[in-house]
Chain A
């Protein structure tokens, strides 16, 4: 079917060429006269401009027009659910982009694919925050009790296991949160979840992909195959604990800052399969931010992840390699959650975010702790650096210990600084921004859950009818 169509197309093209040559002969004949009548209105429709409105450097005309039309189609879709259905309708193979990436020396690849910039040390907001010594003293015995319970008293403390490490984190936060309600009012209305699925997908340009291939086509060999310049990445991860709030966190940097804009972002020369990435089957892409659409708490405050797998890698490769892996884990974990949150606000890889989004992540073991802060400035990875100069930023700290060791029912060498930073992360106050958080969606659009009320406001009528 396709072969016959394309064969006809070629035939027409060749015939046109012939007519052109005929015209050129007529041009030089004396019969043709130059006529200039500017006042007469042209009967033909106006000429289509070469490029659509917008910045389209490094794209061909065909690519730019197809993308522009896709953007316009996407804006016409009124709800988030229908947009996601439209994006995931096509079954395709994507490259897996795991959070716990076990292959060696892939940090630059991870940075490039997520288009993020790593900075050591936390942003300046945390320096101005100061935790009262009263709060610390109040909370310290509770933390110590949890640690003693999980590390010494319980039977499961003898075994090194994923479940044990995730249970430490869960137990720690369950005890901490009720103590902190009076200091941070946002936590009162927040939602806390355990073992949360976080999945996301996005398209990235710069890598070659076979779009279609037909060996039986009646064409020269070069034109039987067509390549596309974009590749889809898919992440899937299980977060141990996630805390979500009604309002978003403050932005760490304004979006027009020098750090957020980088026109010389490095271009990776190597294909993803060089770094040991595997492909998914031909299936629909998946996306979950850890809550259903229309949830009142849509913005993530903190997420906690265990780092059991890093210890196995440390035994295998040593400290220098695992340090890179830890940075990559914090980077990808915070990126995927923010990506999924942005999708649920109506943005996607076609419609870029209009305001920066932020989260905080904690990787911990019970003993070792490391802190990450991430600011998402772009999702649009299809455009060139010149067309889209924005970049995402990830701040990270070194791995610090909460305590030295546990002996005879006592925690020795409790580190107050790491405990302070943990409290800073939990006491960060989200604020309402005076902007439209869903600018791409129409104002009347409403998702499913926002309409429903699981607990009805009208009191139940329990009176029984008696004869």
Chain B
């Protein structure tokens, strides 16, 4: 990889999608390694199936291991964890707009199934359960647009005139 392409990748790949740099090798007797602000991230997911209250699902950085997930939750958020398991979901195909053939795929997702410690429970907050207002706004807009079209059809011969003169 040349110097030129390295800079390009830095431009176009966002920080949270980038590969994690290697840790420095630890030799015995050296001071303990500490990583502040690593590139790891975790995203809470709403589970498709109904799951028990002591289980949580996350989408995580694909380079994270089980110990990373455990440390992330226990050290930063103080949430005890008993078990972590992973599954990878294949990315959805991206089709060519004209030909319809599959050109590429979206990035694969790494999903972590976490079992919390004893006595810990979690419920996914109902943020997305409420009906949003955008649907209503769209319907109102459609109705008004329809009215305008009807009026234009009636006054088809006076469209060139300004509306106050029709």
A residues sitting closer than 8 Å to B (CB atoms) are 103-105, 269-271, 273-274, 276, 317, 320-321
**Closest residue of A by beta carbon distance from B55:** A274
B35–chain A nearest beta-carbon distance, Å: 25
Contact residue among A269, A273, A274, A317 (Cβ-Cβ distance under 8 Å from B82): A317
Task: For A103, list chain B residues within 8 Å (CB).
Answer: 83, 85
> Would A104 and B83 count as touching, CB distance under 8 A?
yes
Q: Which of A104, A105, A270 contacts B49 (CB 8 A)?
A: A270
Q: Shortest CB–CB separation between residue B109 and chain A, in angstroms?
A: 18
A-B contacts, 16 of them at CB < 8 A, read A104-B82, A104-B83, A105-B54, A105-B82, A269-B50, A270-B49, A270-B52, A271-B50, A273-B49, A274-B49, A274-B50, A274-B55, A317-B82, A317-B83, A320-B118, A321-B82
Given A104-B115, A105-B115, A320-B118, A271 and B54 contact (CB-CB distance below 8 Å): no
CB closest residue in chain B, given A104: B83
> How far is B82's CA from A266's CA once the two chains are assembled, in angstroms?
25
Once the chains bind, are A271 and B115 in contact (CB under 8 Å)?
no
Q: How far is the CA of A270 from the CA of B49 in the complex (A)?
A: 8
Partner of A270, one of B50, B85, B113, B115: B50
Known: A274-B51, A276-B113, A320-B118. 10 other contacts (CB 8 A): A103-B83, A104-B83, A105-B115, A270-B49, A270-B50, A270-B51, A273-B49, A274-B49, A274-B55, A317-B82
Give every chain A residue within 8 A of B113 (Cβ-Cβ).
276
Interface size on B, residues (CB 8 A): 12
Give B15-58 as 1s and 0s: 1 = Cβ < 8 Å from A's Cβ atoms: 00000000000000000000000000000000001111011000
Are B115 and A274 in contact, CB atoms less than 8 angstroms apart?
Answer: no
Q: State the CA gap A317–B81 with chains docked (Å).
A: 10
Nearest B residue (CB) for A318: B82
Docked Cα-Cα span, A317 to B82, in Å, equals 7
Chain B residues whose C-beta falls within 8 Å of the C-beta of A276 in the assembled complex: 85, 113
Across the interface, name the chain B residue whose C-beta is closest to A320.
B118
Q: 1/0 per residue B80-111: CB within 8 Å of A?
A: 00110100000000000000000000000000
Chain A: minimal CB distance from B85 (Å):
7
The docked-state distance in angstroms from the alpha carbon of A317 to that of B83 is: 8
Using CB atoms, name the residue of chain A closest to B83.
Answer: A104
A62 to B129 alpha-carbon distance, docked (Å): 36
Residues of B within 8 A of A271 (CB): 49-50
Neighbouring A residues of B50 by C-beta, 8 Å: 269-271, 274
By beta carbon, the residue of chain B nearest A271 is: B49
**Chain A residue at minimum C-beta to C-beta distance from B51:** A274
Interchain CA distance A345-B50 in the complex, whole Å: 39
- Tell me, rounded to whole Å, the shortest Cβ–Cβ distance linking B2 to chain A: 46
Residues of A within 8 A of B118 (CB): 320
Contacts of A321 in B (CB 8 A): 82
A105 to chain B: which residues have CB within 8 Å? 52, 54, 82, 115
Query: Cα distance A321–B82 when bound, in Å?
Result: 9
In order of increasing CB-CB distance, the 5 nearest A-B pairs are A104-B83, A104-B115, A274-B51, A271-B49, A104-B82
Q: Which residues of A contact B55 (CB under 8 A)?
A: 274
Among A105, A273, A276, the one with the most B-chain Cβ atoms within 10 Å of its Cβ is: A105
Interface readout for B51-83 with A: 1 if CB under 8 Å, 0 if not? 110110000000000000000000000000011
**CA A83 to CA B83, docked complex, whole Å:** 42
| Chain A residues closer than 8 Å to B82, beta-carbon distance | 104-105, 317, 321
A104 to B115 Cα, complex, angstroms = 8
By beta carbon, the residue of chain A nearest B87 is A276
Residues of A within 8 A of B49 (CB): 270-271, 273-274
Contacts of B52 in A (CB 8 A): 105, 270, 274
Q: In whole Å, how far is B114's beta carbon from the nearest beta carbon of chain A?
A: 10
A105 to B83, CA, bound (A): 10
Report the Cα distance A269→B115, complex, angstroms: 18
Residue of B54, B82, B113 most packed against chain A (CB within 10 A) = B82
B83 proximity list for chain A (CB < 8 A): 103-104, 317
CA distance A274 to B52 in the complex (A): 8
Q: Least Cβ distance of B142 to chain A in Å? A: 25
Expressed in whole angstroms, the Cα–Cα distance for A276 and B52 within the complex equals: 13
- Bound: A271/B55 CA distance, A: 14
In whole angstroms, how far apart are the Cα atoms of A276 and B82 in the complex?
15
Give B95 Cβ to nearest chain A Cβ, in Å. 18
Q: How far is the CB of A325 from chain B (nearest CB, A)?
A: 12
Complex Cα gap A269–B51 (Å):
9
Q: Name the B residues within 8 Å of A273 (CB-CB).
A: 49
CA distance A320 to B83 in the complex (A): 13
Within the complex, what minimum Cβ distance (angstroms) separates B133 from chain A? Answer: 29
